[in-house]
């Protein structure tokens, strides 16, 4: 009986590790494409959206593109399953409710990304324009009795997430989740560099997006809300011009590369293995 239980536990662990790794690959593909699209905007070719919808449409526009989209859709499904499993069984020994809630939230998020990717693969499009969707959601929320507080709270959460990501990047806490012992010193240096730059760029995007959510709450103007594409384009409108956007876009490409590394080197604790 114990042997059968151990065998099932080992098989479940292997399945969840495979699911998680496929999710990191899918995340790497999308972040790399978003970064490339943002680089094109920075250097004067801004005809496409630099967000998830833009990345999916770029893939869909290739030969056999719609069929190719099923691969990242499956990857995000795997990521959602793995996150849900860690929410139930814990990750790296953590059993606190806060950690479980955060992991469950990530599972829901990746499930929604999976759904949007699958819809695009099925020919239903990659979802509505991110900026328009953000404005529509903000306008709806502002019409509620406590709408301004809700929108303001959402903005503060995004801003807090951005700051937290940036701080953890500087602290290099992402290395704790990787099997760095198996890396050569030069490989670890490269992984550290792309991890820091990638997470700093991601933190900057989250933080600025949070500000663009806060502004409608403060000024009661849903038109100021922006999605990822609008947030990235705002970097090009800064005093540094396209160079800041170019730096952030390069960071997003680096985060895509870091995701590919995570698919290979991530330590999957708490998966029943």
Number of domains in the chain: 1
- 3-state SS class at 189: helix
Does a structural domain hold residue 220?
yes
Asked if the structure places residue 272 within a domain, the reply is: no
- What pTM was computed for the model? 0.87
Give yes or no for a contact between 145 and 76, defined as CB atoms under 8 angstroms apart. no
Position 246 in a domain: yes
| Sequence-ordered list of residues with C-beta below 8 angstroms from that of 265, at least 6 positions apart, any chain | 178, 179, 180, 182, 183, 191
The answer to whether residue 213 is domain-embedded is yes
What is the token pair recorded at 50? Answer: 């630099």
| Residues forming a β-bridge with 91 | 94
The reply to whether 121 falls in a domain is yes
DSSP-derived letter for residue 41 is H
Residue 79 lies in a domain: yes
pLDDT tens, residue by residue, 33-81: 999 999 988 887 666 777 788 888 888 888 888 889 999 999 999 999 9
Q: Which domain holds residue 141?
A: 2-265
111 CB-near residues (< 8 Å, 6+ apart): 76, 77, 80
Share of the chain above pLDDT 70, in %: 85
Is 273 a domain residue? no
pLDDT tens sequence across 76-134:
999 999 999 888 876 555 557 777 888 899 999 999 999 999 998 887 665 555 666 77
The Cα-based distances of 197 to 7, 171, 203 in angstroms read 41, 12, 10
Over residues 245-256, the pLDDT tens digits come to 999 999 999 999
């Amino acid at each position: 009986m114990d042997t059968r239980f151990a065998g099932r536990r080992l098989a479940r662990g292997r399945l969840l590790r495979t699911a998680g790794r496929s999710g990191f690959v899918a995340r790497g593909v999308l972040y790399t494409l978003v970064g490339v699209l943002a680089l094109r905007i920075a250097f004067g070719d801004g005809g496409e959206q630099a967000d998830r919808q833009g990345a999916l449409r770029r893939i869909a526009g290739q030969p056999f593109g719609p069929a190719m989209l099923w691969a990242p859709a499956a990857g995000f499904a795997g990521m959602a399953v793995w996150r849900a499993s860690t929410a139930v069984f814990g990750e790296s020994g953590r059993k606190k409710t806060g950690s479980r809630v955060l992991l469950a939230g990530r599972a829901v998020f990746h499930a929604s990304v999976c759904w949007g990717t699958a819809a695009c693969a099925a020919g239903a499009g990659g979802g509505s324009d991110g900026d328009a969707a953000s404005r529509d959601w903000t306008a709806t929320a502002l019409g509620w009795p406590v709408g301004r507080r809700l929108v303001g709270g959402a903005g503060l959460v995004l801003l807090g997430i951005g700051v937290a990501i940036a701080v953890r990047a500087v602290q290099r806490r992402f290395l704790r989740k990787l099997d760095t012992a198996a890396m050569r010193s030069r490989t670890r240096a490269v992984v550290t560099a792309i991890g820091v730059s990638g997470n700093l760029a991601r933190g900057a995007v989250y933080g600025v997006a949070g500000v663009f959510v806060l502004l409608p709450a403060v000024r009661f103007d849903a038109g100021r809300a922006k999605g990822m594409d609008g947030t990235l384009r705002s970097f090009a409108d800064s005093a540094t011009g396209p160079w800041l956007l170019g730096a952030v876009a390069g960071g997003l490409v680096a985060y895509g590369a870091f995701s590919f590394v995570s698919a290979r080197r991530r330590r999957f604790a708490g998966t029943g293995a």
